[in-house]
């Protein structure tokens, strides 16, 4: 593990060489450039065919990269292999790409706003896009609303127009627009969305309800990239001269975080770590924030002649795209929960969590599986499973703790120890059902018992074998050995008690231990009852299982004998004050 490197952005990366077939696996010797501050990057020194202008990762496996001369490449293995999308063979430069579920949209020169709703199997071009306009930015809020912007303040909007489609709705700006960010406040396909566009000379405009409104320019510096936070009001912008700005009101006003460097910043992306953002630009420039975009650290990465034009960094694998005909794939040190082998759980259940680890880890990397509280909060997580040095693709077994409260809101995550990294929070159909409360077997002379719980059934076990007919909260021992009871709730959730090892010594001097001793038990015609001295003069009652009293006698001495010949066979409860003993009458 590289302990001198920032844990939030440890990378290993490779430039892939794309030959004339547009598909080639990384198989050339690797040269390593190491910056004393920024993580090392593994670089393939071969030169691909075209400059890469933008790249978008949908997840850690699926990505699309676009660039000059009609370049559109797709990878389905996290960037290890790429293939050209056959629909693209033109010479127009493709400038920007966005992936959203099955949708891909590409913005490029000479009216190129190409759109696919099936991950690139088929394509159509937005007829609303003007052939003379170069489009530079594209973004989708979801699969029902998006926007692309370009030269001379031009814009096309994808929304409901009697059906989902494109409309030519330009801004009133004359400057070239380089970036756009979009969002929606409703899932309805019929409701329009909102967008913020930015470009040269500080040009800004917002879209709402079918038209654009120009905003005051915060300055004359070109703005090249935007990122809109999930709150739909906070925005980070990057631009020329190392410009980084932050807005908390969707672009109406801005605070400058960084300005004055010679290099232009071209794009910005959230990272995989909480509060991480990464901006890239000319001369191999990278800025990283680990505090939510309030401050940034400037790095160079050893390939200073490359102008970085696009970045996608919010998944475990990501990429830099840039000039010099290069595409650099990197891997975060990161962990991901990919699935669980069930969705409904009872207290005490074992289950399997599937995980992926990306990057470099130490030799004593203990991975812990953590469970939230019933509200989904990780303020005080409970570790429910661990695994030392798991494989890159592996699983961890977890156990729902006994007496875990029922809830539909539980979440799980994993954490690594070397280095410390928290995974994504997994909350897909993770429900803990109500169940019985864990109990400890108690003893009363020759009887073992647990407390009654509403809605539960019981099954006693003797030396691991079920005891026929013993399905009550109390059982009379049948010999020395191990006893326990399984308690089952009405929904099928069950829990077993501790194992109670019963021997004669367990109840030696039972009168001293409980105050009452009954023999024989089972009884037939005579029941002998021995008591402590303080119970002499008290009344003894015998109740059947319905609670009906069948006998009442006074305790007259330490040893008492009662006639039970007239009592029907069955299960009874003998009580003296608050002492209860189970009695079986046999004939």
pLDDT digits (tens, 9 = 90+) for 541-582: 999 888 889 999 999 988 899 999 999 988 888 999 888 888
Higher-confidence residue of 417 and 6: namely: 417
- What 3-state DSSP class applies to 533? helix
Q: How far are the Cα atoms of 70, 117, 133, 134 from residue 110, in angstroms, in the given order?
A: 11, 22, 5, 5
Q: Is the pLDDT of residue 239 over 60?
A: yes
Element (H, E) at 512: helix 510-514
* Mean pLDDT, rounded, for 60-71: 84
Q: Is the pLDDT of residue 135 over 70?
A: yes
Q: Is the pLDDT of residue 137 over 90?
A: yes
What domains are there in the chain, each with its CATH number?
7-333 (2.130.10.10), 335-432 (2.60.40.10), 442-504 (no CATH), 510-585 (2.60.40.3080)
The predicted-structure confidence for 180-231, as pLDDT tens digits, reads as follows 999 999 989 999 999 999 999 999 999 999 999 999 999 999 999 999 999 9
CA pair distance 511, 531, nearest whole angstrom: 6
* Mean pLDDT, rounded, for 442-462: 87
What pLDDT is stored for residue 303 in this prediction? 52
Ranked by mean pLDDT, the top range of 55-59, 300-304, 416-420, 496-500 is 496-500
Q: Is the pLDDT of residue 495 over 50?
A: yes
What pLDDT is stored for residue 43 in this prediction? 37
What pLDDT is stored for residue 400 in this prediction? 94
* Mean pLDDT, rounded, for 380-404: 93
Q: Which two tokens stand for residue 233?
A: 């009001």
Phi/psi of residue 242, nearest 5 degrees: 70, 25
CA pair distance 10, 358, nearest whole angstrom: 10
Q: Which two tokens stand for residue 414?
A: 């994993």
Percent of all residues in the chain with a pLDDT value above 70, rounded to a whole number: 85
86 in Cβ contact with 120 (< 8 Å): no
């Amino acid at each position: 593990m590289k302990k001198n490197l920032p844990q939030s952005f440890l990378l290993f990366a490779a430039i892939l060489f794309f030959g004339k077939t547009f598909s080639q696996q990384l198989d050339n010797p690797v040269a390593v450039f190491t910056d004393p501050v920024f993580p090392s990057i593994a670089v393939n020194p071969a030169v691909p065919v075209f400059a890469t202008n933008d790249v978008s990762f949908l997840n850690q496996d699926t990505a699309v990269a676009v660039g000059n001369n009609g370049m559109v490449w797709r990878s389905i293995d996290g960037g290890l292999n790429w293939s050209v999308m056959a629909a693209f063979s033109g010479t127009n430069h493709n400038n920007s790409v966005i992936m959203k579920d099955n949708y891909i949209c590409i913005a490029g020169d000479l009216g190129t706003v190409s759109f696919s709703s099936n991950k690139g199997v088929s394509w159509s071009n937005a007829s609303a896009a003007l052939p003379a306009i170069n489009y530079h930015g594209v973004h989708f809020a979801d699969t029902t609303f998006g926007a692309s912007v370009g030269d001379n303040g031009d814009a096309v909007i994808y929304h409901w127009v009697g059906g989902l489609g494109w409309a030519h709705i330009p801004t009133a700006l004359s400057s070239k627009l380089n970036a756009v960010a979009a969002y929606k406040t409703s899932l309805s396909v019929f409701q329009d969305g909102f967008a913020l566009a930015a470009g040269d000379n500080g040009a800004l405009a917002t879209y709402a309800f079918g038209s654009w409104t120009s905003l005051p320019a915060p300055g004359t510096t070109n703005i090249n990239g935007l990122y809109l936070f999930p709150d739909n009001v906070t925005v980070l912008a990057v631009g020329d001269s190392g410009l980084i700005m932050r807005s908390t009101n969707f672009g109406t006003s801005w605070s400058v975080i960084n300005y004055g460097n010679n290099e232009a910043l071209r794009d910005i992306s959230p990272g995989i770590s909480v509060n991480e953002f990464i901006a890239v630009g000319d001369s191999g420039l990278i800025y990283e924030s680990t505090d939510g975009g309030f401050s940034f650290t400037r790095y160079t990465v050893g390939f200073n002649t490359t102008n970085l034009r696009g970045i996608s960094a919010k998944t475990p694998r990501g990429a830099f795209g840039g000039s010099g005909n290069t595409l650099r794939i990197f891997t975060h040190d990161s962990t991901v929960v990919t699935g669980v082998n069930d969705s409904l759980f009872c207290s005490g259940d074992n289950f399997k969590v599937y995980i992926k680890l990306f990057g470099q880890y130490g030799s004593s990397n203990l991975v812990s599986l953590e469970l939230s509280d019933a509200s989904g909060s990780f303020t005080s997580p409970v570790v429910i499973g661990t695994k030392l040095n798991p494989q890159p693709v592996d699983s961890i077994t977890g156990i729902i703790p006994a007496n875990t409260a029922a809830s539909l809101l539980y979440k799980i995550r994993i954490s690594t120890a070397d280095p410390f990294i928290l995974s994504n929070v997994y909350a897909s159909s993770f429900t803990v059902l109500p169940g019985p409360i864990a109990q400890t077997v108690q003893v009363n002379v020759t009887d073992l018992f647990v407390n009654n719980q509403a809605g539960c059934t019981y099954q006693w076990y003797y030396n691991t074998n079920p005891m026929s007919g013993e399905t009550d909260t109390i059982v009379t021992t049948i010999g020395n050995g191990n006893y326990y009871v399984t308690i089952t709730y009405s929904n099928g959730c069950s829990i077993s008690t501790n194992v109670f090892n019963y021997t004669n010594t367990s109840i030696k001097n039972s009168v001293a231990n409980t105050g009452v001793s009954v023999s024989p038990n089972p009884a037939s015609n005579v029941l002998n009852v021995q008591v402590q001295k303080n119970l002499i003069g008290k009344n003894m009652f015998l109740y059947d299982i319905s609670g009906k009293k069948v006998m009442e006698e006074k305790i007259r001495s330490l040893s008492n004998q009662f006639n039970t010949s007239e009592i029907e066979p069955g299960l009874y409860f003998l009580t003296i004050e608050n002492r209860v003993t189970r009695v079986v009458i046999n004939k």
